[in-house]
Amino acid sequence: MGLISSHPIAETRQITTAPPGRGRKKRPVVTVNVPYIRSLLERGVLTRRDEDVLLTVDELGALSVGQLTRLYWQSLSTARHRLRKLYDLHLLDRSEYNPARMIRLGLQPGVVYTLGKAGRLWLNMRTGKKERYVLHPLNTLYHNLALAEFIVILTEAVRHAEDWQMNWQGERSCRIVTTRGDRRRVLLEPDGLIIFNRPGDDSHRYFYLERDLGTENYAAFQRKIRRYGAFFLGKQWRTRYGWSRFPPVLVVTNNAGRARGLIDVIQQAKSPISWGVSDIETLISLGRADLLRANVWTVLSPGKPPRQLSLLSDP
């Protein structure tokens, strides 16, 4: 996943859920330009939390109201109010979704937010980059949501655990790009990078993350495995990140059946790095307290038989 927008969603982006009560109000039309963003900032419209929301939506591509609530609010209703406001300001967009499909992915149906035009510009002004505003194609939207769900349940689990902290990067930040001459080539595009650290003894755990929706055929997955292998053998990761060991790749898929299929593919590929496979149904069923401790990951390391390990078990 992660090809940006060859097929943007059409202009008519109706929400297919039960609509609001007193009629759906259209958002105000604004001219999104640098003075507009400046005036927002001068008036202090953006709170710290708003900024966090925009950064997170940018990293993950799309989040549902439910997911954003779990990350940043106590009350669903309050979150809706604030998100609606960010939508009105064109900092966020709302996207089309299919309730049945969200349920199949283990998600609660609800409005889905993506980064809006003003949000894009705000981020660009902040980082100095020149990312383009895109409407996300529908197929990546569900992938984004599924990925976000994993990040959210991890976040909740880590909040619950007192000794560990977690940071993460989305696809946008952990993408590996090489420049040969003036040609930019994407070498590797992980869905995410998760970093656990325990302040007590300064220990760290890194994981690359792949969220598999079961839509990719096994040949494509084999290519993905080879790309990780090539990145590992290239040693660039040592200088780029200063890691002494290459992070295992966590593969989260939809159900146990697909997980078994992927495990077979990984074993046959004889990858030089470690892989951990689990499925979202199992992970969600665990609950906060167990998510980090339960041995629900089938770990495949080069030259070793498969093992069942937890995220934070000692390597």
Using CB under 7 A as the binding rule, whether residue 19 contacts DNA is answered as: yes
Cβ proximity to DNA: between 138 and 195 the closer is 138
CA 60 to mean position of chain CA atoms? 4
Calculate the alpha carbon distances from 177 to 165, 183, 184, 270 in Å. Answer: 28, 10, 7, 25
Q: Which is nearer to DNA, 25 or 130 (CB)?
A: 25
**At 135, which amino acid appears?**
L
Applying CB under 7 A, the span of 53-61, 76-84, 137-145, 206-214 interacting with DNA comes to 76-84
CA–CA distances in Å: residue 28 to residues 10, 17, 50, 270: 19, 22, 19, 55
> In the structure encoding, which two tokens stand for residue 262, read together?
């992927």
Select from 36, 51, 82, 272 the one that contacts DNA (CB under 7 A): 82
85 binds DNA (CB under 7 A): yes
Cβ proximity of 48 and 133 under 8 Å: no
CB of residue 78 to DNA, shortest distance in Å: 3
Query: Per CB under 7 A, which region of 79-87, 151-159, 283-291, 299-307 contacts DNA?
Result: 79-87
CB 205 → DNA: shortest distance, Å? 32
- The verdict on 45 binding DNA (CB under 7 A) reads yes
CA-nearest of 18, 20, 284 to 154 is: 284
**Residue (97 or 196) nearer to DNA, CB:** 97
- Helix axis angle, 34-42 relative to 117-127, nearest 10°? 80
Q: Which residues ranging from 99 to 128 are in contact with DNA (CB under 7 A)?
A: 99-100, 108-111
Q: Residue 239 CB: number of other CB atoms within 10 A?
A: 8
Count of residues interacting with DNA (CB under 7 A): 32
**DSSP symbol at 105:** T
Looking at residues 168 to 197 of the shown chain, list those that interact with DNA (rule: CB under 7 A): none
Question: What is the smallest separation between the CB atom of 8 and DNA, expressed in angstroms?
Answer: 21
Longest dimension (CA), the chain: 63
Choosing from 6, 12, 77, 179, the residue that interacts with DNA (CB under 7 A) is 77
For DNA, give the closer residue by CB, 5 or 78.
78
Alpha helices by DSSP H, listed for 76-215, are 76-88, 99-104, 117-127, 138-160, 171-174
* By the rule CB under 7 A, 65 interacts with DNA: yes
Q: Which two tokens stand for residue 83?
A: 């998100």
Consecutive H or E run containing 267? helix 256-269
Among 6, 11, 12, 22, indicate the residue that binds DNA (CB under 7 A): 22
Q: Which residue has the tokens 């009629």?
A: 23
Q: Which C-beta is closer to DNA: that of 104 or that of 270?
A: 104
Work out how close the CB of 83 gets to DNA at its nearest, in angstroms, rounded to a whole number. Answer: 7
Q: Which of 74, 217, 239, 244 binds DNA (CB under 7 A)?
A: 74
49 binds DNA (CB under 7 A): yes
Closest CA to 310 of 154, 147, 144: 154
Chain residues in the site for DNA (CB under 7 A): 15-25, 43, 45, 47, 49, 65, 73-75, 77-78, 80-82, 84-85, 99-100, 108-111
